Amino acid sequence: MTHSELPGREALASRAVPSMVFSTGSASSMTPPPPQEIPRDASTGAQKRFTVRGNAVITGGAGTLGLHACAALLEHGLDGLMIFDADPTHAQAQIDDLRSKFPSATINAMKVDVTDEVAVDAAMAETVTQLGSIDALFCFVGIVGCVESLAMPIAQWRKILDVNTTGSFICAQAAARQMVARGNGGSITFIASISGHRVNYPQPQVAYNVSKAAVLMLKSCLAAEWARYGIRTNSISPGYMDTILNEGEGIAEHRRVWAERNPTGRMGAPSELTGAVVLLASEASSYINGTDIVVDGGGVVL
């Protein structure tokens, strides 16, 4: 121990540590119980249960999984959509198609680096200017690297955690600040992974697995802290999904192994993730907070 370290260590004895504050759940709180009456018209009640209201930000929304989520949310009544992506122009045709299919919704896109907190704050503020509010956030942005851990460059390790974990927190914090300022609560959903629950096989991808395990804990911590503001924080853990990221002859053997080790016998289709997306953005999930929904065909049970 050096002399220069002493002031910092001594200061620990006089520090003031903040404490979490939970909601009371009362009618005047941000987490009141919903009305309990059963609608007379069954079809109306069923439709209302999974209606999505307000506006959503989808990070990585120009990717395959993100675009399917965007379409599903719009189908269920989303009023406004803002897509954050490193390059939304590569999906311009699909975004234009969404505008054509949902002419009553406002659908916009911005180029955003989720690891840049200044840029993310500005983008969230601009979203509120354009749409009026942020009621839901879905964080689809993520990168992966498959490399033996003994050979992994530390720069690659840092990059993966910076995008997948820190980027998720940056976006959640910026969106939550807008939600708190408006005072109407909201929903935040991280896209975690089965990679956060178990070691992948046969490919080595330690940094990705660690980053997604951290996202699962991030979800739990924010769920505890932000519930009093009426913000529900959850996550979805997809299994191996049949997207362009998992195509190519170079991983054909891996695809075979993934299918054989899954009780369902195959990879997931992007549309099979949308049920969980709609659920967590709708009124049907009003008492779902701090939960991870695994969508993997049963692979995680093995």
Q: Which of 168, 193, 211, 235 is catalytic?
A: 193
**Is 4 a catalytic site residue?**
no
Which amino acid is residue 197, in one-letter code? H
User: What is the distance between the alpha carbons of residues 224 and 23, in angstroms, rounded to a whole number?
Assistant: 10
Q: In this structure, is residue 198 part of a structural domain? A: yes
How many C-beta atoms surround the C-beta of residue 272 within 10 A? 17
Token pair for residue 3? 């002399």
Using the 8-state DSSP alphabet, how is residue 115 labeled?
A: T
**Is 211 a catalytic site residue?**
no
User: What is the distance between the alpha carbons of residues 53 and 57, in angstroms, rounded to a whole number?
Assistant: 13
Render pLDDT for 220-270 as a digit per residue (tens, 0 to 9). Answer: 999 999 999 999 999 999 999 988 777 777 788 999 999 999 999 999 999
Q: Which domain holds residue 166?
A: 46-296
Q: In this structure, is residue 7 part of a structural domain? A: no
Q: In this structure, is residue 276 part of a structural domain? A: yes
Q: In this structure, is residue 5 part of a structural domain? A: no
Q: Which of 168, 212, 229, 240 is catalytic?
A: 212
Q: Encode the chain (302 residues) as per-residue pLDDT tens digits.
A: 455 555 677 777 778 889 999 999 999 999 999 988 888 888 888 888 899 999 999 999 999 999 999 999 999 999 999 999 999 999 999 999 999 999 999 999 999 999 999 999 999 999 999 999 999 999 999 999 999 999 999 999 999 999 999 999 999 999 999 999 999 999 999 999 999 999 999 999 999 999 999 999 999 999 999 999 999 999 999 999 988 777 777 788 999 999 999 999 999 999 999 999 999 999 999 999 999 999 999 998 88
Q: In this structure, is residue 29 part of a structural domain? A: no
User: What is the distance between the alpha carbons of residues 270 and 195, in angstroms, rounded to a whole number?
Assistant: 17
Region of residue 230 (left: phi > 0; alpha: psi -120 to 50; beta: else):
left
**Is 237 a catalytic site residue?**
no
Q: In this structure, is residue 14 part of a structural domain? A: no
Q: Which of 93, 95, 132, 97 is nearest to 110 (CA)?
A: 95
User: What is the distance between the alpha carbons of residues 106 and 81, in angstroms, rounded to a whole number?
Assistant: 6
Token pair for residue 132? 């009026």
CATH of residue 229's domain is 3.40.50.720
Which amino acid is residue 236, in one-letter code? I
Number of domains composing the chain: 1
Q: In this structure, is residue 284 part of a structural domain? A: yes
Q: Which of 168, 187, 195, 208 is catalytic?
A: 208
Q: Which of 140, 121, 126, 25 is nearest to 73 (CA)?
A: 140
Token pair for residue 187? 């929903």
**Residues with Cβ within 8 Å of residue 231, at least 6 apart in sequence:** 176, 179, 180, 185, 186, 187, 188, 222
Render pLDDT for 181-232 as a digit per residue (tens, 0 to 9). Answer: 999 999 999 999 999 999 999 999 999 999 999 999 999 999 999 999 999 9
Specify the 3-state DSSP secondary structure of 99.
helix
Q: In this structure, is residue 140 part of a structural domain? A: yes
